[in-house]
Amino acid sequence: MKSLILNGNGCTVFNSQGQIAYRVDNYDIRCAHEVFLMDPKGNVLFTILRKRHKFTRVWEGYRYNNDQKEPNFRVRSSKLGCRVQREGLTTYEVMLGLDKNQPYSHTIESSTGKSSFCKISDQFGGLVAWLKRKKASCGVDLGEDVLSMVVEPNIDLSLIMGLVVAYCLINSKM
């Protein structure tokens, strides 16, 4: 969760070979209203914008080459920050396909504490991605800002990263 840009706020995502896969920066201040998800060369893939709606916190993602005015995805939390589904678990609403006017939903479910994790499920409850704190081979946590993510095959990785970035922004982790 560290930025490669001096005095920037964001994070760097590495693949399993240790190469840069994505960069996230806002080039401005912490908790800005506009964040960019970029490829390793700095090309913008998604612009993620904070939207204010009544009693909710919403972040919308727009594919950079998208000429349409509708977002590609929306991640929403309730007035109180999130909707508590079960003790210790928090659920966020994700709407996808908004640019095609055929929306479908996903959910982001997270847990905090020692076994903190975040999982993204499709509208049928199938697991799409899993994010958790990374551990060293000896089992020691590498820190709250070092995460490991597994994504199911045939899933748009940049879209999943956009959802994870929006989730982190809602929770002020970036």
Domain presence at residue 2:
no
Domain presence at residue 90:
yes
Residue 23 · residue 40 · CB < 8 Å:
yes
Per residue of the chain (174 residues), give pLDDT as tens. 555 555 566 788 888 888 999 998 876 665 568 888 999 998 999 999 888 766 677 889 998 876 667 788 999 875 444 444 455 678 888 888 776 666 788 888 887 655 567 899 988 889 999 888 777 778 776 766 677 888 999 989 999 999 988 888 887 766
Domain presence at residue 29:
yes
Q: List the CATH number of the domain containing 45.
A: 2.40.160.200
Q: How far apart are CA 60 and CA 52, in angstroms?
A: 10
Task: Give the residue ranges of DSSP H helices in the chain.
Answer: 157-170
Domain presence at residue 28:
yes
Nearest to 126 by CA among 113, 102, 107, 101: 107
101, two tokens: 């006017």
Domain presence at residue 19:
yes
Where in the sequence is the domain holding 154, given as residue range(s)? 10-170
